[in-house]
Amino acid sequence: MKFEDYHFSDEVKMSIGKLGFKKPTDIQFKTIPHILRGEDILAIAQTGTGKTAAFAIPIIEKLHAKKKFQSRKDGIKALVMVPTRELAIQIDDVFKKLAQNTRVKSFCVVGGIDQGPQIQKLEEGIDVLIATPGRMFDLVSQGYIVLSRIDFLVLDEADHMLDLGFIKDIRDLLKFLPAKRQTLFFSATIDAEIKKLAYSLVTNPIRIQISPKDPVSKNIDHALIKVEQDDKRFFLERIIKNYPEARFIVFTRTKVRAERVVQAMERVSIKCLSIHSGKTQEERNEIMSQFNKSLINVLVATDISARGIDFPDVDFVVNYDIPEQPENYVHRVGRTGRGIKRGKAYSFCSPQEDPLLLQIEELLGKKITLVDIGYSDYSEVVKESEDAHTDWKTLMKQMDEAEKSYAQRKRKKK
């Protein structure tokens, strides 16, 4: 079935066509009819399957039909709750593109920036609100956001919201919402706690599960490289220089390690930037914009950003550090191989990280393909690196100075 065969309005079909969407993905094909019929949804689908369009298209279609008879002053009609600022911004972008030929207006509110312009936009009137919990509740308590007229509640990346401790916020949200509403619950993983939360929000939901046996997209090729912790930078340099035109997202475990990777790559003339919670929202927006415009081809990120980075043309994901939570592997590698495009995921595993690797392979239900590197090849990668010739004491001094500079910048921001 093609999108042109759906009974959508001409305006919505026009927007879908402009985005180049021809046929719905599995999650879109299975959820859109139920959402159009007004049914609650509990959907389990891995990252990169087209979840955002799966709920955005039918919500826009239904609101567009209503707009012919309603005024925007009737209040916000759809609320999409997400765990991270980057994800909120990107979902809002999808809504705007899909609704560009309709009268439906979307807007996102996130923390970390001045709330004045957000309040002004809310007072002008919107139909769809995409929000992170903190800023949304601030504006609700101040009376700038009224949720009593909500027709649609969407919880996206619900499992990550629980990981970040937002479960109380989600439960508090119910006090502000009308009992009669349509609830759409999306999660990449499912466990007892997720089920408990989901069934407290939905009514007789349609449960949809995509690829339950394989939590990762089939479009991703996985590779494992066994490497000493201190040698990871040499292998990252080799891979990036082997594919100079490719786009990379490199994941580290902490903010400090993200900064160290950026410094190491800069020493070997590889331009890259880092994104993590230690940067202001303006800085994060600018970095995302540069990566989106291919002004930089290498982005170094922490797990907090994994679900908020959604670009269609990421060629490689590199797990510079093995994630401590196996589910985070799924979300990291899901940044590549999106839609019908293939992607590659490399994981650098030091001996100390072997227990974490076992947990990931247990989650995947299979071994990650090991790249066999002999001693001579390993030595060659290290020897050929420009960074290998840096004096060890000088390198440690540079790292200490960089960390002090980073700490000073943080204190100034505060």
Give pLDDT tens digits for 355-383: 999 999 998 888 999 998 888 888 888 88
Topology of domain 220-413, CATH: Rossmann fold (3.40.50)
More confident call, 278 vs 344: 344
pLDDT for 372: 86
pLDDT for 380: 87
Q: Tell me which of 18-27, 137-146, 213-222 is least confident.
A: 213-222
Q: Distance between CA 17 and CA 33 in Å, rounded? A: 19
Give the residue-averaged pLDDT of 237-265: 93
Contact 339, 52 (CB under 8 A): no
pLDDT for 413: 57
pLDDT for 399: 57
% of the chain beyond a pLDDT of 70: 86
Query: Roughly how many angstroms between the first and final C-alpha of the chain, as a whole number?
Result: 54
Q: Distance between CA 159 and CA 47 in Å, rounded? A: 12
Q: Which span out of 134-138, 260-264, 308-312 was modeled with the highest average pLDDT?
A: 260-264
Q: Kindly list the distances between the CA atom of residue 127 and the CA atoms of 40, 51, 143, in Å, as whole numbers in the listed order.
A: 20, 20, 17
More confident call, 87 vs 130: 130
More confident call, 353 vs 74: 353
**At the fourth CATH level, which superfamily is domain 3-209?**
P-loop containing nucleotide triphosphate hydrolases (3.40.50.300)
Q: Distance between CA 204 and CA 142 in Å, rounded? A: 34
More confident call, 386 vs 395: 386
pLDDT for 145: 92
Q: Tell me which of 59-63, 186-190, 260-264, 345-349 is least confident.
A: 186-190
The residue to which tokens 């504006």 are assigned: 139
Residue 195 token pair: 């089920």
pLDDT for 127: 94
Instruction: Spell out a b/e string for 59-72, using b for 16 or more CB atoms within 10 Å of the CB, else e.
Output: bbbbbbeebeeeee
| Mean pLDDT value across the chain | 85
The SS3 assignment for 17 reads helix
- Statement: residue 225 has pLDDT above 70: yes
The SS3 assignment for 27 reads helix
Give pLDDT tens digits for 162-205: 776 788 888 888 888 998 999 999 987 777 888 888 888 888 88
Give the residue-averaged pLDDT of 253-279: 91
Give pLDDT tens digits for 89-122: 889 999 999 999 998 999 999 888 888 999 999 9
Contact 318, 297 (CB under 8 A): no
pLDDT for 78: 95
Domain ranges of the chain: 3-209, 220-413
Other beta carbons within 10 angstroms of residue 7's beta carbon come to 7
- Statement: residue 263 has pLDDT above 60: yes
Q: Distance between CA 4 and CA 17 in Å, rounded? A: 9
- Residue 17 CB partners (closer than 8 Å, separation 6+): 3, 4
Give pLDDT tens digits for 306-342: 566 677 789 999 999 999 988 888 888 888 887 667 8
CA 268 to chain centre: 29
Q: Tell me the DSSP string of 195-208.
A: HHHHHHH-SSPEEE
Instruction: Spell out a b/e string for 345-366, using b for 16 or more CB atoms within 10 Å of the CB, else e.
Output: bbbbbbeebeebbebbbebbee
The SS3 assignment for 226 reads strand
Band of the pLDDT at 400, cuts 50, 70, 90? low
**Which amino acid belongs to residue 106?**
S
